């Protein structure tokens, strides 16, 4: 039994990544209080495990209740949206309680660093999958190479959260296990990275056009596109010698082209449209909404709309040289989504993006018996101390459990279990650093957490040298 047995953890949140954390902590003898705005959600999660309690708590609107609840715990786990972490950390500092999150250290948390240090409080962040496992294994190889007198000439990292191949059975080859809005908006993020010693960038509107085929494994038809700001990792990872530093996101082939078409048609717009208001007197059909987004007359027929979409998509996709077969595939995908349907009424959600999200959430959800998959691979181009060169890969492929009662997705396991390992390491006194702590920036902490993940849950990246 863990030396943390008998300690009390307050878990804020009841989302899909929380269950593996609750299970692991319960198994270690930690009493977990699950707190959520919706009591039924907290009860549904807590009811599956011994030594757990469920309460209703709205972090943003119940400061007194948050303060009282924090005061009774030995550690706080914040798995709610990152914008609320600062509220939680302030309450924890007031009562000298440690905190664990799986999120990046935001500017708002950075501002609390000195206060946390003064209060002798540990705030362990970035201990999930991304950020978390990815960084822990990137710095492992980098540290090993540097200690042996070598250099990292290039670092490239790919990560993808995908349906397992047998369940990638829709035109985008993708499925959502939570609200798709955040995932869709991420497709509009700009990105920058180092390539051949120079910073290269792409604007968000062109992100999908930057996608390229990736042959990580012969059996997978992957494409990848840049993931936000990779350039800062050259300094963070202490690899000033690296001429290439890049992080990217993996999807199945065909995904970027459909997204580019949806963006070009106006379906990613966050502008409110009166006809999409829930109280609008006359609902549109999907063909009418597509027509409106393209600037066509309200009387345009479904055939007219489809012809206009063909012309628009031909222009959008021709910019990257896609052929007629690829354009036809994209049109088939849009047809599957129902965007040319002249009979089905739109369930308006104020904006085109939110209206589209409601469709994707329904048509692209995991069904019973289906499973997800996480692929993470780091690639290092290395010059050894003797001048020899090698390419080293560090790879993790994790499959989720088929969807059903009590099942755990790969994403939930690879976020929730590292979080639990971090919580136990703090409770057991193996992480005592104060202030805002990112575990991968401390070699001892990183080694501790890698070892725990492997020993407790068999989670590790497998290395190969070519």
Known catalytic residues are 130
- 248-281 b/e with 16+ CB inside 10 Å = b? bbbbbebbbbbbbbbbbbbbbbeeebeebeeeee
Please name which of 95, 166, 154, 222 lies closest in space to residue 380, comparing C-alpha atoms.
154
* DSSP β-ladder status, 8-12 and 212-214: unpaired
Give me the residue label for tokens 């042959």. Answer: 215
Q: What is the DSSP letter of 57?
A: -
The whole-angstrom separation of Cα 239 and Cα 152 is 7
What contacts 269, CB < 8 A, 6 or more positions away? 293, 351, 352, 353
What does the block give as tokens for 457?
């849950």
**Three-class SS of residue 293?**
helix
What does the block give as tokens for 231?
């350039």
**194 CA to centre of own chain:** 22
Q: Please, how many CA atoms are within 13 Å of residue 263, restricted to the half-sphere of its CB?
A: 21
**Three-class SS of residue 454?**
helix
What does the block give as tokens for 314?
């031909």
450: phi then psi, degrees, rounded to nearest 5: -60, -45
């Amino acid at each position: 039994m863990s030396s943390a047995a008998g300690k009390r953890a307050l878990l804020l949140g009841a989302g899909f990544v929380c269950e593996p954390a609750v299970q692991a902590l319960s198994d270690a003898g930690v009493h977990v209080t699950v707190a959520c705005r919706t009591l039924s959600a907290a009860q549904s999660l807590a009811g599956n495990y011994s030594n757990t309690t469920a309460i209703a708590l709205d972090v943003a609107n119940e400061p007194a209740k948050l303060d009282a609840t924090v005061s009774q715990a030995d550690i706080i786990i914040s798995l709610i949206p990152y914008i609320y972490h600062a509220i939680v950390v302030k309450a924890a500092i007031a009562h000298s309680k440690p905190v664990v999150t799986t999120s990046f250290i935001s500017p708002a948390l950075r501002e609390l660093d000195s206060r946390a240090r003064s209060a002798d409080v540990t705030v362990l962040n970035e201990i999930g999958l991304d950020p978390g496992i990815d960084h822990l294994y990137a710095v492992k190889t980098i540290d090993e190479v540097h200690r042996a007198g070598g250099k990292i000439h290039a670092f490239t990292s790919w990560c993808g959260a995908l349906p397992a191949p047998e369940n990638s059975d829709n035109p985008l080859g993708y499925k959502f296990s939570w609200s798709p809005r955040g995932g869709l908006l991420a497709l509009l993020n700009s990105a920058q990275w180092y390539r051949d010693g120079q910073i290269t960038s792409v604007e968000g509107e062109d992100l999908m056009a930057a996608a390229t085929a990736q042959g990580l494994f012969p059996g997978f038809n992957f494409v990848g596109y840049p993931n936000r700001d990779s350039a800062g990792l050259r300094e963070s990872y202490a690899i000033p010698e690296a001429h290439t530093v890049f992080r990217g996101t993996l999807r199945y082939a065909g995904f970027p082209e459909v997204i580019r078409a949806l963006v070009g048609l106006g379906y990613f717009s966050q502008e409110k449209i009166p006809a999409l208001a829930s109280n609008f007197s006359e609902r549109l059909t999907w063909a009418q909404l597509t027509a409106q987004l393209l600037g066509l007359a309200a009387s345009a027929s479904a055939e007219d709309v489809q012809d206009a979409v063909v012309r628009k998509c031909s222009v959008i996709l021709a910019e990257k040289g896609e052929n007629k077969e690829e354009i036809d595939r994209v049109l088939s995908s849009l047809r599957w989504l129902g965007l040319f349907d002249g009979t089905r009424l739109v369930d308006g959600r104020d904006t085109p993006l939110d209206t589209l999200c409601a469709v994707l959430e329904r048509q692209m959800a995991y069904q019973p018996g289906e499973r997800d998959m996480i692929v993470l691979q780091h690639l290092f181009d290395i010059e050894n101390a003797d001048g020899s060169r090698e390419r080293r890969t560090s790879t993790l492929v994790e499959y989720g459990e088929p969807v059903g009662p009590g099942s755990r997705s790969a994403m939930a396991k690879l976020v929730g279990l590292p979080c639990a390992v971090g919580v136990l390491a703090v409770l057991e006194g193996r992480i005592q650093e104060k202030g805002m702590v990112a575990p991968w920036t401390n070699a001892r902490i990183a080694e501790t957490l890698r070892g725990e993940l492997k020993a407790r849950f068999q989670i590790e990246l497998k290395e190969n040298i070519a």
